[in-house]
Structures are given as C-alpha cells and as structure tokens.
C-alpha cells in the first residue's frame, strides 16, 4: 500500500481541498500526515482537520507548519474566502509549534511516504536546515515551476504567476537545489479544470462532495473563470470553475499516467529582482519535470474518484 504525506496551504484557492478530498477517496492509500504551510496561527491546520473529520479520519495527524508571522512571505497578501460562506460551520484553528510539523514530515520520510508539496516550499527548507541532507532521501513531488511557456490554447501566464515558488523565493531556491523533486509545472496544470458539469454528481457524493460544491459555487461567484479562460482558451472547457493544479500533482505522485510524460531537464535556478527563474541549461541540475498530460482525462478521473 502506498503512503503519502501532504504539505498544503489549504484554505485559500479551493484546489487544495480538491487534492485532499481525492487522497481521502483514493483506494488503498495510507496518508501518513498533513502539514500546513503559510499558516496563520493554525487557521489552515484547522481547515485540514475539519476535512479529515468529515471522513472520520481522526487517525491522520495534522500539524501547523511555517506561519506568516515568521517573516517568510514578505511581498504577498495571503487572503482567504469568507469563512461563513466557504465552510458550513465555524472551524476552530489548530495552532502548534512548528517543530511538530517538521517532526511529522521527518517521520513520513522515514516511513517511506511520498511527499507532495502543494503550497510554498517553506516547511521543506526548514526541515532540511534542521536535518541536513534529509530532503535528498525523500520521494518529493512539488506543484510549481515555470520552465516552459504554457501550450497554445491555454492561459499564457508569466513567471510571476507561479505562486508556490514566488511567494517564498528563498525556500523554493533552497529546496530545488537540495532535493531531487519531480516538478508538476504550470505548463501542465493549466490544462486541468474543475467543471460546472461535475457539480450535480459531487453534490451526491456525501459530505465531502457537498463541501466541494459549496466552495466551488462560492469561487465561481467571486472569481469567475469561465468568461476569463473558458471563453478565450480553446483548450479548456467553457464551464471551467477552477484549475486542478494540486489534485494533478497528487495524482501523478501516486502513479496516474494518462498522457503523462516526465523528462529529466537540466535547470539553473537564478534569482533576479526577487523572482526565481528556472532556466534550462546543459550545466544545470538534472530535474524531473512533467512535460505532458491528458488534461481532459484527468478532469474526469478526479471526478470519478470523488464520486465512486
């Protein structure tokens, strides 16, 4: 049975919820732990605990990791949707010392779990600084990267759109040079979509499906992507609600492979004007990079997992 540890900034963009929900429904999977990053006095950890409790998974440990008060995120406003609209009831925060999160990450590595990072890379840097060399032992998958431009028919995002890397450049630079990660970059995750067509099925998929529908409908009202991308990008479905960046990263980490190609690309990592650039170069560090997927196949696969 595969094991996985999720490091997440759940509570902002709803694709973190979609990723955690998928893991909870994935057959024959052991989740060794969930850590949160860019947390705010345990607010994100509280959200993660709430989602796990919906499925009766009190056995899965949750720990709050790097906090915004620690000064890691200087140039970004880390916002949240309205709690009253996004969650069906008040969600208490779960603050805790960051050493608990780092210890949980370490235990997951020692158990041979796959590590998937779907938020800023801060916790991974702090773990390796505390235990030098431990990241090189980890089977690490990271949602992020802007190596190649997005393909035609999809949004043409610039390098600074790569939130997970650019929100904490110091940590991203460190982790990319001190680990052996597989990157799931924007050039492939931009090809995924949570579709409005899926909401009726999800609404029948228990409390977890109902929560996804609740957050999806709020997201569609407050940040409508269908006119912005669905109507202008022929590669995307017209009824797109959100991108599925984070579920895609988790699925690839667990072996989902429809249309997936992974290449080893030598990359140089350079910081210019407080932005990190990943530059293909023969002298660079060989980095595993997902370069192709079947986005439509993944969209349907995710929905089928949630609604099985």
DSSP letter for each residue of 277-302: EEEE-TTSEEEEEEEE--HHHHHHHH
> Any idea which fold 3-307 has?
Inosine-uridine Nucleoside N-ribohydrolase; Chain A (3.90.245)
pLDDT tens digit at each of 308 positions of the chain: 899 999 999 998 999 999 999 999 999 999 999 999 999 999 999 999 999 999 999 999 999 999 999 989 876 677 899 899 999 999 999 999 999 999 999 999 999 999 999 999 999 999 999 999 999 999 999 999 999 999 999 999 999 899 999 999 999 999 999 999 999 999 999 999 999 999 999 999 999 999 999 999 999 999 999 999 999 999 999 999 999 999 999 999 999 999 999 999 999 999 999 999 999 999 999 999 999 999 999 999 999 999 98
Predicted confidence at residue 75, as pLDDT, reads 66
75/60 Cα distance (integer angstroms): 33
Cβ atoms within 10 Å of 117's Cβ, excluding its own: 29
pTM for the structure as a whole: 0.97
d(CA 34, CA 65): 10
Look up residue 140 and give its DSSP letter: E
At residue 21, φ and ψ (nearest 5 deg) are -60, -40
Cβ partners under 8 Å of residue 224, min gap 6: none
| pLDDT tens digits, 89-122 | 999 999 999 999 999 999 999 999 999 999 999 9
Distance CA 175, CA 24 (A): 27
- Distance (Å, whole) CA 88 – CA 91: 9
């Amino acid at each position: 049975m595969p094991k996985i540890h999720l490091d997440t900034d759940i509570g902002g963009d709803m694709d973190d919820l979609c990723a955690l929900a998928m893991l909870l429904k994935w057959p024959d999977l052991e989740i060794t732990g969930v850590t949160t990053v860019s947390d705010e006095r345990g607010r994100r950890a509280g959200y993660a605990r709430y989602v796990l409790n919906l499925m009766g998974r009190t056995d899965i440990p949750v720990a709050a990791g790097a906090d915004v008060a620690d000064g890691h995120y200087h140039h970004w406003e880390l916002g949240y949707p309205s709690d009253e609209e996004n969650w069906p009831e008040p969600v208490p925060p779960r603050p805790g010392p960051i050493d608990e999160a780092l210890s949980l990450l370490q235990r997951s590595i020692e158990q041979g779990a796959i590590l998937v990072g779907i938020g800023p890379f801060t916790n991974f840097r702090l773990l390796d600084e505390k235990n030098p060399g431990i990241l090189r032992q980890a089977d690490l998958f990271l949602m992020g990267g802007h190596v190649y431009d997005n393909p035609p028919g999809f949004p043409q995002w610039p390098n600074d759109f790569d939130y997970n890397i650019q929100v904490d450049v110091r940590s991203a630079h460190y982790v990319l040079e001190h680990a052996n990660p597989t990157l799931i970059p924007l050039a492939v995750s931009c090809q995924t979509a949570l579709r409005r067509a899926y909401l009726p099925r999800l609404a029948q998929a228990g409390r977890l499906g109902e929560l996804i529908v609740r957050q999806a409908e709020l997201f569609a009202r407050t940040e409508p992507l269908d006119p912005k991308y669905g109507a202008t990008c022929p590669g995307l479905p017209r009824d797109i609600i959100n991108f599925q960046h984070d579920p895609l990263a988790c699925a690839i980490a667990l072996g989902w492979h429809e249309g997936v190609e992974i290449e080893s690309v030598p990359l140089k990592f350079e910081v210019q004007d407080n932005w990190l650039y990943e530059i293909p170069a023969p002298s660079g560090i060989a980095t595993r990079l997902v370069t192709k997927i079947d986005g439509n196949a993944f969209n349907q696969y995710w929905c089928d997992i949630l609604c099985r």
